[in-house]
Each structure stands twice: as C-alpha cells, then as structure tokens.
Amino acid sequence: MARLHLLNRPCWIGALLVFAIWAPSGSDGTVQTTTNEAHLQHINASLARWLELANRDTHFLVIDHDADELRLYHHTALLRTCKADLATVATVIDSLTVSTHLRRLRSASPYVSPSVGPFDWERYLSDAATRHSALLLSDETLIRGAADEHSVWGAVAGATLSSADLRALFDALPDGTPVVRLPKGWASGDVTP
C-alpha cells in the first residue's frame, strides 16, 4: 500500500512520463544505429542483386549514386559508363526494372526529314531514341536526356544524362531489363545515409 501510495506522488508520475518518452528511443545513438542498420540492409540487398545479375546472361543497368554514373553491364562485362546527374533521384532500394520506353513519333513538324540512322522508317516510327525519349523505371524514376530549351521533360525529376548516352541505353535496354541501384556509401561501407 505504501508503494501504491508513492505512485500517486506527482514526482513519480513525472518521472514515469520522462521514462516513457525517453526509454523506447534509448538515445540519439540508438536512433542512428537503427537508421544505419536500415541503410546497410539496403546496400547489402543491392550488392546481392548485383551479384545475382552478374551470373546471368543478360544486360542490366547499375545506377551508382557514389560515382554519379549509370553503367550498362552484360554478365560481368562493362559495356558502357554514362555520367549522370542523379541529384533528384531518390535512393529507395527496390527490385527495379525498366518499365517503359517513352518515345515520340516522328517530329511534329512535317518539314523535318528523317535523319540517317538505325531507324525503321518503314513503319514511320522511330525504334531508336530521340532527344525527347526517356526510360521509365518500375519505381517511376525517369531516365532522360539533359534538358535543353526544347526538352519536353522540363524540370521533371530523374536521372539526366547526355543525349548520346540516353540513345545508347534506350536502344540497349528492353522493357523488363533489371536495374540495380547502389546508394551512397555502398563501396566504403560508410553508412551515413
């Protein structure tokens, strides 16, 4: 009874409140540890996926947030390295794939002649990328060419790369191509997200 009586004291109640708020989070260090764990789990999941894809006979794309690069691989062979601006790309880790090829038909202007290149003009539809084309990943990340005054994408968030790189990737990656996204610090193990 004496103890129950003690619980009625305001100081006990105050102390319990402080404990209830403080204890679950432990301290700032515990919160940081949990974040680090989640980040490390993301990194490890990405590396495991990369390893898995490196044993398959298929093209795949690696988005490297450390190097600001998009790299095209087939098996373990490096086919192309594309410098990219990934500032607006979220570093959410997922089992990504190329979802859709966004393209336009021939130029809207009837006076523009088709240029020479690997186009299938018989269908009057360009199989290859134009500067207005883009690749859409399954998490709705857009891979597009660097914006210019004629860009149809404007300020849409996404990875931006040079026109030549975009055209190469656009042609090389069919829908469903696996994509690995490596977050910052993946190589060093620096787990500060």
Binding of residue 19 to other proteins (CB under 8 A): yes
Q: Residues 67, 106, 119, 136: which binds other proteins (CB under 8 A)?
A: 119
Binding of residue 128 to other proteins (CB under 8 A): yes
Binding of residue 83 to other proteins (CB under 8 A): no
Q: DSSP letter for 27, please.
A: -
Whichever of 47 and 152 has its CB closer to other proteins, that residue is 47
d(CA 26, CA 89): 32
Phi-psi region of 192 (alpha: psi -120 to 50; beta: other; left: phi over 0): beta
Binding of residue 127 to other proteins (CB under 8 A): yes
Assign 3-state DSSP to the chain and report helix, strand, coil percentages, each to 5. Answer: 30, 25, 45
Q: How far is the CB of 57 from other proteins (least distance, A)?
A: 6
Whichever of 132 and 157 has its CB closer to other proteins, that residue is 132
Binding of residue 93 to other proteins (CB under 8 A): no
Contact 146, 132 (CB under 8 A): no
Residue count (the chain): 193
| Among 14-22, 84-92, 93-101, 141-149, the segment contacting other proteins (CB under 8 A) | 14-22
Q: How far apart are the first and last CA of the chain?
A: 51
Which stretches of the chain are assigned E, i.e. beta strand? 59-64, 69-74, 77-85, 96-102, 134-137, 142-145, 159-161, 178-182
Binding site for other proteins (CB under 8 A): 2-3, 6, 9, 11-12, 15-16, 18-19, 22-23, 26-27, 29-30, 33-34, 36-37, 40-41, 43-44, 47-48, 50-51, 54-55, 57, 59, 72, 74-80, 116-120, 122, 127-128, 164, 167-168, 171-172, 187, 189, 191
